[in-house]
Homo-oligomer: A and B are copies of this chain.
Amino acid sequence: MDDPTLAARYRTLRRDLHQYPEPAWCEFYTTSRLIDELERREIDKLRYGSAIHATEGRRNVPDDTTLTEWRQRAREAGANDDVLETIGDGVTGAVAVVERGDGPTIALRVDIDALPITEADSDDHQPTAAGFRSTNEGYMHACGHDAHATIGLGVLDRVLGSDFTGTFKLILQPAEETISGGKSIADSGVLDDVDALLAPHIGLDHPSGEVVAGIDEFLAVRQFEATFRGESAHAGARPEAGDNAVQAMAAAVQNLYGLSRNSAGGTRVNAGRVGGGTASNIVPEEAFIEGEVRGETTDLMEYMWDRAEDVLAGAATMHNCEVTIERLGDAPSAHSDAALVEVVDRVARRTTGVDTVVASDSLGGSEDATYLMQRVHQRGGLAAYLGVGTDHPGGHHTPTFDVEAQDIAVGIDLLAGVIADLAADVSAGNADAA
Contact = CB atoms under 8 A, between A and B. Distances in A.
Given A239-B260, A316-B314, A272 B268 contact: no
A199 interface: no
A1 interface: no
Interface string A204-217: 11000000000000
B314 A319 contact: yes
Contacts of A244: 257, 260
Contacts of A274: 246, 249-250, 274-277, 284, 287
A366 B236 contact: yes
A387 to B, nearest CB: 12
A148 to B, nearest CB: 16
Interface stretch (A84-92, A95-103, A344-352, A391-399): A391-399
A365 B223 CA distance: 31
Interface in A245-297: 246-247, 249-251, 253-255, 257-264, 266-284, 287, 290-292, 294
Interface residues of A, number: 86
Contact of A307 (B223, B236, B320): B320
A234 B294 CA distance: 12
B272 A282 contact: yes
Please state the number of chain copies in the assembly: 4
Given A240-B261, A310-B317, A319-B255, A235 B270 contact: yes
Contacts of A115: 278-279, 282
A233 interface: yes
A237 interface: yes
B320 A318 contact: no
Contact of A315 (B262, B271, B314): B314
A364 interface: yes
Nearest to A143: B234
A31 interface: no
B284 A271 contact: yes
Contacts of A259: 257
B397 A233 contact: yes
Interface of A is mostly: mixed
Contacts of A266: 261, 263, 266
B236 A219 contact: yes
A121 to B, nearest CB: 15
B314 A318 contact: yes
A320 to B, nearest CB: 6
Given A240-B264, A317-B310, A397 B223 contact: no
A364 to B, nearest CB: 4
A144 to B, nearest CB: 12
Contacts of A237: 204-205, 263, 363-365, 395-396
A303 interface: yes
A397 B235 CA distance: 9
Interface in A150-205: 177-178, 204-205
Given A247-B253, A250-B254, A272-B277, 11 more contacts: A231-B398, A233-B395, A239-B268, A246-B271, A251-B255, A270-B283, A273-B276, A274-B276, A274-B284, A279-B290, A314-B318
6 contacts: A232-B397, A236-B268, A236-B366, A261-B269, A272-B280, A314-B317
